[in-house]
Each structure stands twice: as C-alpha cells, then as structure tokens.
Amino acid sequence: MVTNFTMDHGLSTIDEPIYYGVIMIRVRFAPSPTGYLHIGSARTALFNWVYARHCGGKFILRIEDTDRARSEDRFLHEIMEDLRWLGLDWDEEPIFQSKRFDVYRKAADTIVRAGKGYRDGEAYIFKVEPGRTITLDDMIHGRIVFNTNEIKDQVMIKSDGSPAYNFSCVIDDAYLKITHIIRGDDHVSNTPKQILFYEALGIACPTFGHMPLIMGMDGAKLSKRHGGVSVEEYKKEGYLPEALINYLLLLGWSPGGDREVISLNEAVRAFDIDHMKGVQAKFDIQKLTWMNGEYIMAKKTEELLPFIKTQMAVAGKTTSSDEKILRVIALYKVRIKTLSEFVTLTDHFFSDDYSVDEKGRQKYLSSAENKQILKEFTRQLEALKDFSYVATEGACRAFAQEKNLKTGQVIHPTRMAVSGKTAGAGLFEMMEILGKEKTLERMRAAAR
C-alpha cells in the first residue's frame, strides 16, 4: 500500500490510501551534472524507463545539482542528449534540486520543531533512535534487515545551507509522488536512512529495488581498463544506441531462453522486474562490440548514413556525396564492428591522402616483378569500356591466365596500389566505386 499525498512547501499530508494496483507507477532517474553519463547510470535510467513504459507509468527526471562548484551546464546538456540518443524520453519537465533549497530547509525545520532533530550551528541534524529494526522488502533482493545502532544521527541541512543527499531525495521523491525507486546496490546503505525520513514526515515509503552494480570481467569495479565508462565514449567510438541499449538490458535481466538480441520496444512488452538477477553483472566489451556489429549489419544502409557522416566529420575527413558514401557503407557494413572503424578502413575512397600499410607496401609493391605485373594489368584495364566489378574481375582472371599467374599475384599488388591496405572489401567492388580514372591513376603511380 502507498499513500496519496500533497505537498505544501515540500512537506506531506496524508490523504486517503490508494493501492499500487490502481495508481500510476512513477519512477525517476536522478543524474548529477558533475560529469558525463556513466554507463552504470545509463543502465539505471534504462531499467526505470522500461519499467515505467511496461506498466504504463511515468518516467521522471530529477537533476541533483546541489554541488554548485562541480555542476556544469555542459554536463547537463550532454546527459540529456545521451538519454535522448539512447531513446529514453521523460514525461515531465525535470526538477532541479538547486532551486529547492528553501523547501529542504522548511522540511528540516519542521522535523526539528517536532522534536525529531536538532540544530548544530547552521546545520540541521536528525536524531536516529537507537535499537530499532528497519525491514526492507526489496524488489530484487527480497527482505533486507537493518539496525539503527549502525546508523548515526543524519545531517539534513549542511552548515553551508545545502541539503544532504538522503534528505533531499526523500523530499523530492515525495513531491514527485514517486512510487518505485530502482537504483544500484551502492544505495542499499542509504535506504534505511531514507526510510527514517519518510517516517518522520508521515509519508509512506515507495517500493525499493536495488540492482547489482556493473563490474569488469575481472570482478573489479568498472574502470577505463575495461572499456569506456561513459555513454559519450561509446557514442564517439561508433556504437549504435540500439546495440548499447540491448547490451545494457542483458546486464541483470534476460528476455528468456537463449535470446540475446532484443529491441527496446520488445523489452518494454517482455519486461518483468521479478526476473531481474540479484548477482553482479560483468561488462564484456567484446560481447558489446560483437552485438554492435550485428546491429550495423542489420541496419539499412540509409539509416547508417547520418551516423557515418558524423564519424567522418569528427575525424576531420572531407565528406563526399551522399550517394558515394552510401555505396561504400553498403560495401563495408558487413565488415565493421564499430562505426569509427569505417573512417580508417575507407579513407582511400574519399581522399588521396589515405593511410598506407608500410609492411604491405614493401611486400607487394617493392619488387620489380610486381611492378611489372601492375603495369601490364593497368594496360589491360585501360582497354575496358565497362568498369563494373564484374568486368574488372573478368579482366583480372583472363590476365592471370594469359601470364600464367595465380590471381593473388595480380590482386595483392593492385589492392595495395588502389587502397594502401592488404585487406578490406572486395578489390573489384572497390575499383568500381573509385572509378576507372582514379583506379588507373593510382596503379600507374605505384608501378613507377
């Protein structure tokens, strides 16, 4: 059971009881704009969002910007953009804790006047009654029991006038009528302290669910050595939002069976918080990268175009016509795992200033024999009127047969000459996109 309440200057008054079965589920995500959106925080936002959408409820955004020195607008902008990029929208205008200091102070003053707290200079302190047992029925872990002997008196308002985290959370969650709080295991120790504040204010507690934290594959706290730790890093590296969302969904929850690829909409329909796992989730960058490659392959070429153009722009690469980029994407989307790989692997399509594999150049273009093969094959191609990949491949095989060569003896020097690389897409498909003039120009230059 929860209680319906109204807020007056941040305080609650108990109204008639309403059951979860007939009220709207309301959850919240509360980022702090002191840095970029952490991958663990994105996972927290994701499960709150999915739970709200599954239940037909509301997903609320609260900005915890009480740290005035470290909170920055640029981080707030990035966090909100990253949430939108992931497809996680919110239902109401966000509230900002920095604008509610007077609300917190009035609530703390009421608790002190009721004899449940005291002043210590400019600070407001809540008196914790010793010897009490606090029981939490967690949605993920089940029953957790705390003893107040292990909890010291709690600061409500600090001496500088800013609110303490646990106190401001309770005031804001009550104001927003939050019914369920889904967050990381690192908040378990905060929960009994917050329950005490709910009791002091005469507000029924929301339902809590604490998710195990994301760890590295070695069991250590997630850090740079395990891969990127912010959503922004994965976005820049060229991971698709659908792939990142899909992977985060699997860290603590399963759609059932052996299924691993699931869309956000499908997850909303299938989600059951009772199926969330109470064990630590391990972040496997290799699995995420594999999954990203699967999403890239499955995506329509036209849908990848804006992502690819962004990658090229960030890398300072001159963009070509959309038509040409689309042709190259179609050729390479089955070969890349991240979109950032596209820029390096395809630079020879868009500029003459492209990267060259020096070992490959020495191996395939340094000998007089290979240069001679390249010269003669160039003359063979000059005679072609049709420069499609079918025609150039046919010319290559005919040339190799005529000269009693293996096709690889022709293909390898030619690939190095036109792309500067020893591997990549099919040589003849590359030559068709580059066009006859550019292909022959590079072959002549390499054969000198």
- Catalytically active residues, by annotation: 224
CA distance to 121, 168, 181, per residue, from 159 (Å): 7, 15, 28
**DSSP code of residue 193:** H
**At how many degrees (to 10) do helices 427-434 and 436-447 cross?**
110
Strand extents, DSSP E, 11-72:
11-18, 26-29, 58-63
Query: Chain-centre distance of CA 371, in angstroms?
Result: 48
In the numeric block, the tokens 């659908």 are attached to: 242
Q: What 3-state DSSP class applies to 55?
A: helix
List the beta strands (DSSP E) in 22-69: 26-29, 58-63
With contact defined as beta carbons under 8 Å apart, do 394 and 431 qualify? Answer: no
Cα end-to-end span (Å), the chain: 84
Contact yes or no for 225/80 (Cβ under 8 A): no
**Between β-strands 142-147 and 133-138, what pairing exists: parallel, antiparallel or unpaired?**
antiparallel
Nearest to 267 by CA among 39, 54, 40, 42: 54
d(Cα 305, Cα 298) in Å, to the nearest integer? 14
Which amino acid appears at position 398 of this protein? A
Residue 225 near residue 215 (C-beta atoms within 8 A): no
